[in-house]
Amino acid sequence: MKLQADHIGPLAMFKIGVGPSSSHTVGPMVAAMDFRQRLEERVSTLANSDSLRIAVELYGSLSATGKGHGTDGAVCAGLIGLHPRFSDTQDIWAAMPNLIDSPEFKLGSAILKFNPDEDISWQEWLMDGKSLPHPNTIRFRLWQKDKILLEQITASVGGGFIEAIDPLTGQYLTSATEDKTVSLPYPFNTAAEFVAQCNQNDITPWQIIIANQEALGLKEAELRQQLDEILNTMERCIEQGLKTEGILPGGLNVKRRAKNLHAKMLSGQTSDRAANDLRPSVYAIAVNEENAAGGRVVTAPTNGSSGIIPSVWRTLREDHNLSRETLQNGLIVASAIGALVKTHASISGAEVGCQGEVGTSCAMAAAGATAMLGGTINQIEQAAEIGIEHHLGMTCDPIKGLVQIPCIERNAMGAVKALNAVALSLASDGSHLISLDRVLEVMKQTGLDMNQKYKETATGGLALG
């Protein structure tokens, strides 16, 4: 597959949204918003807008773990026009109970009936007797009495990205993120080409991405301003997580522990036998507890793996007094690695297991952090490769379908591994035997070979208790 120009952008990889899942919460919410737009157009053409009803079918992994991931609530929020980034998280989570109380909403002059309890259906792995185009597939329909007036099938492909599917052929339609016919100053499709562009042009990896983004119409000043907002949101998320106590929602009875761990760490009460810096773990846990509680988080590249990059960035900022520009440059480099994974393997737990989420995030963090600490492009590529290599084959088996166990602690481990990958790559000259491109091939094949029960279905592994 060819690297899609828009997918390389940091703003595509780091999206400010709402927890607990990018593929099962943010993606379905964006899909519902997208359907709402078409609904608006369709409804405005009707001579008679009586008896209109919406039906939503959730398939595959969205059905298997959607309840734990808040997919139904996210769909409700998107249908009534709320936005994962700009709407208040409390309003988002109030949308479904409100619709259950009063099962209709207004669109233009039309009233659309929609009762989440009756009109959201949880389907299996076949749609109309055929295999699904993607493990996370949704079908929206507008009915008028017994006639379908509008139908849309959408795949939530990971990281909050969606792709539309042709209802007749079951094939992907050209999405908003498909190739543009823009000629980029530094095109690359593989990690090897990325490294070569840097070395041949004697240019930093972030300068390559910035130049390519400018060619796509995004000015550096605007990019940096948005990256700053992303950094601020990551920081706020850590702070919120560090000061919040209580039990996470969903019925698993998981107690939030970031606040307590942080207090112990600050007062020196943590075990000195382990001689370990607890900060990366505590910061990552803080973010992922916020995510599990449906709070405001940034995909990095997904919600399930949203704790690793904020944690690594904060730890390094504290230790090295890094400038805002350096922190932004690190995000830019991390996004390039995420884009390569998304293109040649997957960032979706439902497609390839957790190697695609925590594994990818670890690689992105390792690469970005190596760049922030002055590593060469070869060391950056090596750090990313280490980050993925040691997550190959990692399954996704969230208990009760909630993004809590193993997800929260797994981010802590991912952050620690990322920092170790940075140390290993900076201590070498960047030459190594297995390339990042090769690891991505293996990751994809491993994901294809992985039994479905280990790919975000909560039907295997830890999910069995």
Binding piece for ligand SF4, criterion CB under 6 A, among 97-105, 116-124, 324-332, 351-359: 351-359
- Are β-strands 147-158 and 161-165 bridged in parallel, bridged antiparallel, or unpaired? antiparallel
Choices 87-95, 102-110, 400-408, 443-451; region in contact with ligand SF4 by CB under 6 A: 400-408
Q: Which residue has the tokens 């400018």?
A: 214
Binding status of residue 358 toward ligand SF4 by CB under 6 A: yes
Amino acid at site 312: V
CB of 307 to ligand SF4, least distance (A): 9
Residue 305 touching ligand SF4 (CB under 6 A): yes
Task: Supply the minimum distance, in Å, between the C-beta of residue 418 and ligand SF4.
Answer: 15
- Helix 436-449 and helix 324-344, axial crossing angle in degrees, nearest 10: 50
Give yes or no for residue 398 binding ligand SF4 (CB under 6 A).
yes
Q: Which stretch, 123-131, 240-248, 399-407, 429-437, contacts ligand SF4 (CB under 6 A)? A: 399-407
Q: Rounded distance, CA 210 to CA 364, Å? A: 17
The residue among 54 and 287 lying less far from ligand SF4, judged by its C-beta, is 287
Q: Which is nearer to ligand SF4, 360 or 376 (CB)?
A: 360
Residue (289 or 357) nearer to ligand SF4, CB: 357
Rounded Cα gap, residues 305 and 256, in angstroms: 17
Q: Which of 334, 362, 407, 418 binds ligand SF4 (CB under 6 A)?
A: 407
Q: Least distance in Å: CB of 456 to ligand SF4?
A: 5
Question: Contact 19/25 with Cβ under 8 angstroms?
Answer: yes
Distance, in Å, from the CA atom of 140 to the CA atom of 56, rounded to the nearest integer, reads 5
Largest Cα–Cα separation, the chain:
75
**Cβ pair 278, 270 in contact under 8 A:** yes
Is residue 304 a contact point for ligand SF4 (CB under 6 A)?
yes
* Least distance CB 452 / ligand SF4 (angstroms): 13
State the nearest-atom distance from the C-beta of 398 to ligand SF4, in Å: 4
Shortest distance in whole angstroms from residue 349 CB to ligand SF4? 3
Q: How far apart are CA 76 and CA 119, in angstroms?
A: 11
Q: 336-339: which pairs have CB atoms within 8 A and are 24 or more residues apart?
A: 336/8, 336/194, 336/205, 336/208, 336/209, 336/367, 337/191, 337/363, 337/364, 337/367, 337/368, 337/384, 337/436, 338/13, 338/159, 338/301, 338/364, 339/3, 339/7, 339/8, 339/9, 339/12, 339/13
Least spacing, CB of residue 16 vs ligand SF4, in Å: 18
| 396 sits near ligand SF4 (criterion: CB under 6 A) | yes
The residue (of 6 and 456) whose beta carbon lies closer to ligand SF4 is 456
Q: Applying CB under 6 A, does 357 fall inside the site for ligand SF4?
A: yes
Helix%, strand%, coil% for the chain, nearest 5:
55, 15, 35
Rounded least distance, CB 396 to ligand SF4, Å? 3
Residues lying near ligand SF4 in the complex (CB under 6 A) are found at 304-305, 349, 354, 357-358, 396, 398, 403, 406-407, 410, 456
